Chain A
Amino acid sequence: MSMCEQDPATWSCDRCAVALVPGKVEFSYMGGSFKVDLPVCPDCGLVLVPEELAVGRMADAEKILEDK
């Protein structure tokens, strides 16, 4: 899955005071795991899951896994 839809530059990590950079985030749900391209903090690893992704394709994928 590639879901890098939001420009990481508009969000920065507040604690590390650095801009987010493209990274890979691993998710798991109902026994499956997935890697998604998302903005992450290069220093502490804080991630950004955009709203469109969470309520859109991620929610759809959750539903499919739940009815497996």
Chain B
Amino acid sequence: MEPNELREWEQKCIQEEPPQCTAACPIHLDARLFVRQVGEGDWGGALKTLAKTMPFPRILGRICDHPCEHACLRGEAGEPIAIGALERLCVETVQQRVVPSMLPRKRLAIAVVGSGLGSLTVAWDLLRKGYDLTLFEPGSRLGGSLWSLPENILPPEVLSAELELLTELGATVELFAKVGRPNTVVTLSESFAAVYIGLDTQGVNLNLLDLDDQGAVQVDPLTMATSRTGVFAGGRADDTKSPIAAVLAGRRAATSIDRFVTNVSMESGREKEGPYATLLYTSLAGVAPLPRIAAANPASGYNAEEALKEAGRCIQCECLECVKVCSYLEKFKGYPRKYAREIYNNERMVPGGVHRANLLVNSCSNCGLCATVCPNDFHMGELCHDARLSMVARAKMPPAAHEFALLDLEFSSSDKFALARHEPGLTASRYLFFPSCQLAGSAPGQVSEAYGFLRQQLSGGVGLMLNCCGAPGFWAGRDDLFYAAIRTLRTEWHALGEPVMIVACSSCLAIFREQLPEIPLVSLWEVLEQTGLPNTAAEAGRLAVVDPCSSRLDPAVQKSVRRLLERLGAAIEELPLHGDKPECCGFGGLMANANPALAREVVARRLAASDSDYLAYCAMCRDHFTAAGKRTTHLIDLIFPVETREDPAGRPATGWSLRHENRARLKEALLKELWGEATVTVAEYERRRVEIPPDVLALMEARRILVADVQRVIEYGERTGNRLRSEENGLCRAYFRPHRVTFWVDYRQQGEGFIVANAYCHRMEIVRSSHEHV
């Protein structure tokens, strides 16, 4: 990933944008955090949050005119949060001192004239930045018009105590300062690195500064600079009308002064000073409107209990739309913007990078739900796919992540399963049935029935293509394997006379649509709508339809499936996430390979959506759900019932070994029955007859060990004699490494065959061994 690509990804995810309240606050107080702390009763923390942004929090917390409240999103569901009132209670009740953090001293002297709210803010900010600051006040006390505020709003003792902070922070204060002389501005700007003049100060001689049309001192609204270099000004006599506006003006001036004396551009990068429109999106779905909590005694404001309730109304605005619907995004405890950064750091080997990044990249199911719900279409699957391609290119992809699925792809595209033919007896094909490797592996009998039905119903020839669409290669970032698969399919389709392809699997459809746009495609379900259903079709009851994630962009297929179900008499239940929002079953993106535990959680989450039986039209969805104990029918089980007519949902889940076997048997059977050909060469190891008890088979399934692997080990052990023998019970144990996994099998001979007692495997390779005994 290039740095600019990282930035593009980061910009797409607006989760870190500030909430409405903070963006509307002229000084960007973290109101969301503040309100949360109040809601948690953490008053000390809440005061610290105020002090982080506010100058003189005990003053401003009482008098701020809170423009944030107009923007507060709660206003769209009831009334805005009373942020101002909460601030007031906070500074009233918490007595602990707040000492602002200070930067190291800079030994640069700045002058501030006047001590209204704007001047005080300039002084506060610059003192904290480490400047030597002298405050010139012509009057007898600091505070300017702040003293004119009603006592119940700003008690005089609070004001004087807070003003004392200035000297504590190290300011030099000159009261009765002579600032009315004609050369005041010159003298100050010659003796100080920069000068700020509060225009709300009585009796300052401003004769050297240019005036605007209204006769006031001309001040640049962005930088608060006057016509004289190094002299800044702000503040009006009526500052108390909007105290926070006065504070903003002071803060702008302080920023300019800091930049001016350190020779940094005063203009650049100031767009987000003051109120601005945030890009944060927060959904109000499910947020019931709530009115503002009223104080029992309006004159004294909220008591603690009322404040807690009021703060409890805060939505704690944030986006996380994608995280709410995706177990994977939730699992890694962040959100896409963070993940993009982690993946980038990992790829660039930034020191301190997070070591979970490989797992992060390989766990996404690439289902695209995130992009559907994200206000900016952030597609985590694309980010992860790019990262996988890069890992493969840099030889950093752990083989364990995808190898098993890639071997499945290899099997399906091998002679064991792959086939492309015209209908028996014909030399042309108007159609070409592509049942998909997974449906053939899960429901071979139903596929065979469907092919028969299509031949019977459609004229012009229905060819058959058995193969894999290459999806595992795509998901694994193995473009070499993926495009090889696509090329083969294209070549065979040409050779068969470019027929219309009838595709049963939504994943295949999605891939073909993108990679093979020249092929006319139609889904099996749409075809069956046209031909009508066979009269052997089963009747359907109440079913909740689980759309596969790959049907997200295919409303036509989704509708077609529903119409077929209606014809079968089904009472259709729609799940909360359907249509363009289905989740994945954990197979997509090879999640179940790279992160089986997460895939189980994903399945559990989908199963929790309804108690009804599920109806799937993706073989992997059906098998994953069935394996997790959910009664799930595949649509093909209803339309072409094979021994499942009584209870189509009762068909057991198909494990990996059985899938291979089913595919191979389907091909054999079709070759024999339809084309009158006997098959297929059988490898030596396949002749080893093995008997595997169900518990061992289940263990093998979990450990991703195929029956064929076990046969290979036994064949090797028996052929070479390289095997161990238990002295206790005569059991044999042999090991063999056909690919990149070493398989171990415990077995015992029985008649012509073998009984398997256990199987396990590891990926570490045995390089050599030596014994210590001489």
Kindly state the separation between the CA atoms of A7 and B721 in the bound complex, as whole angstroms: 22
Residue B752 CB within 8 A of the other chain = no
Q: How far is the CA of A22 from the CA of B766 in the complex (A)?
A: 16
Q: In whole angstroms, what is the CA distance A27 to B763 when docked?
A: 10
Taken together as a complex, chains A and B put the C-alpha atoms of A25 and B764 apart, in Å, by 11
Q: Which residues of chain B from 365 to 417 have a CB within 8 Å of any chain A CB? A: 398, 400-401
B726 at the interface (CB under 8 A from A): yes
Query: Is A11 a contact partner of B724 (Cβ separation < 8 A)?
Result: yes
Tell me the minimal C-beta distance from A49 to chain B in angstroms. Answer: 7
Q: Are A62 and B703 in contact (CB under 8 A)?
A: no
Q: Given the complex, which residues of A lie within 8 Å of B739, measured CB to CB?
A: none
Chain B: minimal CB distance from A68 (Å): 7
Q: Which residues of A contact B758 (CB under 8 A)?
A: 51
Assess the A67–B359 pair: CB atoms within 8 A: yes
What is the distance, in angstroms, from B352's C-beta to the closest C-beta of chain A? 14
B766 interface neighbour in A19, A47, A59, A67, Cβ under 8 Å: A47
- Chain A, range 1-33, C-beta contacts under 8 Å to B: 9-15, 19-30, 33
On whether the beta carbons of B772 and A27 are closer than 8 Å, the reply is no
Residue B727 lies at the interface, judged by CB distance under 8 Å to chain A: yes
Cα distance A34–B727 in the bound complex, in angstroms: 29
- Closest-by-CB residue of A relative to B703 is A55
Residues of B within 8 A of A14 (CB): 721, 723-725, 732
Q: How far is the CA of A4 from the CA of B253 in the complex (A)?
A: 73
Given A21-B773, A27-B764, A49-B766; A62-B732 close (CB under 8 Å): no
Given known contacts A27-B764, A51-B760, A62-B400, A15 and B355 CB-to-CB distance under 8 angstroms:
no
CA distance A29 to B741 in the complex (A): 11
Report B691-717 residues with CB < 8 Å from chain A CB. 703
* Nearest CB of chain A from residue B689's CB, rounded to whole Å: 21
In the complex with contacts A48-B733, A58-B762, A25-B769 CB distance below 8 A: yes
Q: Is the CB of A11 within 8 A of B726?
A: yes
Complex contact A34–B764 (CB within 8 A)? yes
Whether, in the assembled complex, B191 has its beta carbon less than 8 Å from a beta carbon of chain A, the answer is no
Q: A51-B760, A58-B762 are in contact. Are A66 and B728 (CB under 8 A)?
A: no
B767, A27: Cβ atoms closer than 8 Å: yes
CA distance A45 to B769 in the complex (A): 6
Q: Are A26 and B768 in contact (CB under 8 A)?
A: yes
Closest chain-A Cβ to B611's Cβ sits at a distance in Å of 36
Cβ-closest chain A residue relative to B743: A54
Cβ contacts under 8 Å, B764 to chain A? 27-29, 34, 58, 61-62
Q: Which residues of A contact B769 (CB under 8 A)?
A: 23-26, 38, 40, 45-47
Chain B interface, number of residues (Cβ within 8 angstroms): 38
Which residue on B lies nearest to A55, using beta carbons?
B760
Which chain A residues border B722 with CB–CB below 8 Å? 15, 44, 46
Asked if B671 is an interface residue, CB under 8 A from chain A, the answer is no
Main secondary structure of the interface of A (DSSP, over half): mixed
CB neighbours of A58 from chain B (8 A): 762, 764
Cα A26 to Cα B727 in complex, Å, equals 26
> What is the bound-complex CA distance between A62 and B113, given in angstroms?
69
Nearest chain A residue, comparing its CB with the CB of B735: A49
Q: Tell me which residues across on chain A come within 8 A of B723, comparing CB atoms.
A: 14-15
Chain B residues within 8 Å of A13, by CB: 724-725
Q: Is the CB of B772 within 8 A of A24?
A: yes
B107 CB–A CB distance under 8 Å: no
Is B733 within 8 A of A11, CB to CB? yes
A46 to B761, CA, bound (A): 16
| Contact A46/B724 with A23-B769, A27-B767 known, Cβ cut-off 8 Å | yes
Does B106 sit within 8 A of A, measured CB to CB? no
Q: Contacts A26-B769, A28-B765, A34-B764: A66 and B724 contacting too (C-beta < 8 A)?
A: no
Measured between beta carbons, the chain A residues less than 8 angstroms from B52 are none
Hey, which chain A residues are within 8 Å of B728, CB to CB? 10
| Contact between A25 and B766, CB atoms less than 8 A apart | yes
Q: Which residue of A lies closest to B731 (CB)?
A: A11
Q: How far is the CB of B744 from chain A (nearest CB, A)?
A: 7
Q: Which of B359, B400, B727, B767 contacts A9 (CB 8 A)?
A: B727
8 Å CB interface, B744-772 against A? 744, 758, 760-772
Q: 0/1 per residue, B224-265, Cβ < 8 Å to A?
A: 000000000000000000000000000000000000000000
Max chain A C-beta neighbours (<10 A), residue from B357, B359, B398, B732? B398
Q: Among A44, A45, A49, which residue has the most Cβ atoms of chain B within 10 A?
A: A49
The verdict on B358 contacting chain A, using a C-beta distance below 8 Å, is: yes
From A14, which residue of chain B is reached at the shortest CB distance? B725
CA distance A61 to B763 in the complex (A): 10
Is B272 on the interface with A (CB-CB < 8 A)?
Answer: no
Q: Quick check: is B356 within 8 A (CB to CB) of the other chain?
A: yes
Question: CB distance B770 to A40 under 8 Å?
Answer: yes
A28 to B765, CA, bound (A): 5
Closest Cβ of chain B to A55, distance in Å, is 6
The complex places the Cα of A66 from the Cα of B768 at a distance, in Å, of 22
Residues of A within 8 A of B732 (CB): 14
Q: Is the CB of A27 within 8 A of B765?
A: yes
With CB as the reference atom, state the residue of chain A lying closest to B767. A26
Q: Which residue of B lies closest to A31 (CB)?
A: B395
Considering the chains assembled together, what is the distance between the CA atoms of A22 and B773 in angstroms? 8
- Contact yes or no, B761 A54, CB < 8 A: yes
A58-B761 Cα distance, complex, nearest whole Å = 10
- How many Å lie between the Cα of A38 and that of B766 in the bound state? 11
Most buried by B among A26, A61, A68: A26
**CB-CB nearest in chain B for A15:** B721
Residue in chain A with minimal CB distance to B746: A51
Residues of A within 8 A of B401 (CB): 66
**Chain A residues closer than 8 Å to B355, beta-carbon distance:** 67-68
Most chain A C-beta atoms within 10 Å of own C-beta, residue among B720, B723, B758 = B723
The residues of A that contact B763 with a CB separation of less than 8 Å are 29, 62
Residue of B nearest to A27 (CB): B764
Return 19 A-B CB contacts under 8 Å, by A number.
A11-B726, A14-B723, A19-B727, A24-B771, A25-B766, A26-B766, A26-B769, A29-B764, A41-B771, A42-B773, A47-B766, A48-B724, A48-B733, A51-B760, A59-B762, A61-B764, A67-B356, A67-B357, A67-B398
* Top 3 A-B residue pairs of the complex, sorted by shortest distance between their CB atoms: A66-B398, A23-B771, A27-B764
Known: A26-B768, A28-B767. 4 other contacts (CB 8 A): A23-B773, A24-B769, A26-B766, A66-B358
